[in-house]
A and B are shown apart, each in its own frame.
Chain A
Amino acid sequence: MGTYLKLAWRNLWRNRKRTVIAASSVFFAVFLALAMRSMQKGSYDFMIDSSVRISTGYIQVHAKDYWDKRSLDKSMVLDPEVISKISKLPDVTLVIPRFETFTLVSHGNATKVSPIVGINPDKERTILKLQEKLVSGKYLTGSSKGVLIGQGLAELLKVGVGDSIVLYGQGFHAITAAALVPVQGIIKLPIPEMNKTMIYCSLSYAQWLYSAPGRLTSLSIMIDRPNRLDEVRSEVKKFFDDKYEVMTWKEMTPELVQSIEVDSAGGIIMLAILYIVIGFGIFGTIMMMTTERTKEFGILIAVGMKKTKLIMVTTIETIFISLIGVFAGIVISYPILLYFYYHPIKLTGELAEAMLAFGVEPIMPFSIAPGIFIAQFWTVLLIALLSAWYPFRYVHKLKAVEAIRN
């Protein structure tokens, strides 16, 4: 076997130019497929991650019926011990209590309906990251009695930091919730619809305003490995009886799941087309390489070389070429993808506006999930091996006399 490998390796470098051309056709194939898949996977992960951050969390616990009714009457009181137990589960990175409802917000003659979210300001530093989005004013603390409002909302209401706005809504058990509250900070949210409406305040203030001491509307759970979603969900479920619901983002935002599925189907078709082009590229190169060596094969067979051995060597050659191409592809594309992973491409113009309207930040993120590299490795290697069928047949049918005369 060692001899075959040595022979194959030497054969490769006998004609350097030929090998480099063949390997680079594989290389480009891997490179293109990787870049495309990385971009797709990256944008899905990004969509999911940004969506769960601002809305639901990967997993959410709420009282039964809350999800349908969205009423404060369906809020819940959670045992702090249960919360700390959940946060210690494997894969759980953070457990975020939130208190969400709607309010009328008014200043001067302007009145709007806005979602208001009571948050734990320290925990949300890594999740909502509102402190980074502050345009003016101060970020919340646990005992803040002020609110952060979106920049668009501030413009509509014509308020600045330090002005007071009126909040008016219904609290727990329909008790009137009304207050004159100072604007503590103005935040610029990337999604226009949120920028024009959102109000954030501290959890304790929201619970006071809505006469719901100690109550939460939801407990969002962030996890570090999204593929462990279902396992974590069933772990979390063990803490709760049927008065509660434990839902995953897939159940809470089915429209996101669907749009990803549709887009991914399109991506797979594109990828299939790319593979077909790549496949013919590799096949063409190998075919050329084989026919060019007709005379050589003929002489080898004439002097007593066994066809099976010859087939073995040519197959190993094909594998070598593919491996060189695949490894070169991965080695070269990895640092590039890594760079774009940390520095996603910022989009501008019409495309950016379309994405914003869709509620997604206009950047083109990349993924460096090992899965896509492994998948490309095997797929391209498989194509190369299928192409090895040609030299196999060719050598098998070869007639030494004709081949030498050729």
Chain B
Amino acid sequence: MKSVISLTFIYLISICEFIFSQTAKEVIQKADQLMRAKSSYSEVKMTIVKPDWSRTMGLKIWSLEPEYALIYVTEPARDKGTVTLKRKNEVWNWIPSAQKVIKIPPSMMMQSWMGSDFTNDDLVKQSSIVDDYTHKFIGEENIGEFNCWKIQLTPKPEAGVVWGKIVIWISKKEYFELKADYYDEDGNIVKTFTGGDPQKMDDRTVLTHWEMVPVDEPGNKTILDYDKIEFNIATDQSFFSEQNMKRVR
């Protein structure tokens, strides 16, 4: 009996060691990979919440990492058929009512995308939470039923990143990115991402409910609810073309 206990104890210690031998970077990498694939297709409900109104839009999103994405709006009726194409660092819009493709000029890149708390620039930003930051464990915390690592990300000097730092909570077992706080260069919190509602999508279990809260604008938030995600779909660059913007449904 005694030996069983001691064996279990040794076993536990070795597991702990195994877990703690991971670097913060590896944890971030695993969490990042969970949500990422070479290509993906998803159906999303985006809800824009403002202090005195809110509205929900239906989106279909195709993406080919890291440079291409195409977003098709399915509802509401007045916006239906609007397409946003991200190609490298450019954003293009197809406007069905005017039958016209417009490239978003640089001066509009910081404007809100479709009225949400995301800017056009957020769509094209290519910084990677793995490669553009240095990572450090700063503690452990529980978020809901998830036991999380708290990891601080500091941008590398050469990375073109607007944030001063990011603090991310990642669940130890599932590698869910449950929360992320974005800070500006003066150390003030700018926005908070929270994730929840894990569900099986395609070949993996991921968080399907995301909320983005801009801290300086009380009462505002943008909610993303994934209804469907397919990872590693068959697609190539030719799909993300101006011509195809007019064709996708």
Contacts and interface: CB of A to CB of B under 8 A. Distances in A.
Contacts of A168: 93, 95, 98, 100, 102
B98 A178 contact: yes
A179 B100 CA distance: 10
A327 B138 CA distance: 85
A174 B115 contact: yes
A103 to B, nearest CB: 10
Interface stretch (B104-112, B147-155, B176-184, B223-231): B104-112
A39 B102 CA distance: 49
B105 A112 contact: yes
B217 to A, nearest CB: 9
A104 B55 contact: no
A176 B79 CA distance: 6
Given A170-B115, A173-B55, A104 B97 contact: no
A106 interface: yes
Contact of A113 (B52, B97, B98, B108): B108
Given A104-B102, A104-B104, A178-B95, A211 B78 contact: yes
B53 interface: yes
A111, A112, A167: which has the most chain B beta carbons within 10 Å? A111
Interface of A is mostly: strand
Nearest to A72: B115
**Size band of the B side of the interface?**
20 to 34
A307 B16 CA distance: 117
A111 B102 contact: yes
B22 interface: no
A173 B53 contact: yes
Contacts of A175: 55, 76, 78-79, 115
The 5 closest A-B pairs by CB, nearest first: A174-B115, A180-B98, A178-B95, A166-B98, A176-B79
27 contacts: A73-B52, A104-B102, A104-B104, A104-B105, A106-B100, A111-B102, A113-B107, A113-B108, A166-B95, A166-B98, A166-B100, A167-B98, A170-B114, A170-B115, A174-B48, A174-B112, A174-B115, A175-B55, A175-B78, A175-B79, A176-B79, A176-B82, A176-B95, A178-B98, A180-B98, A180-B100, A211-B78
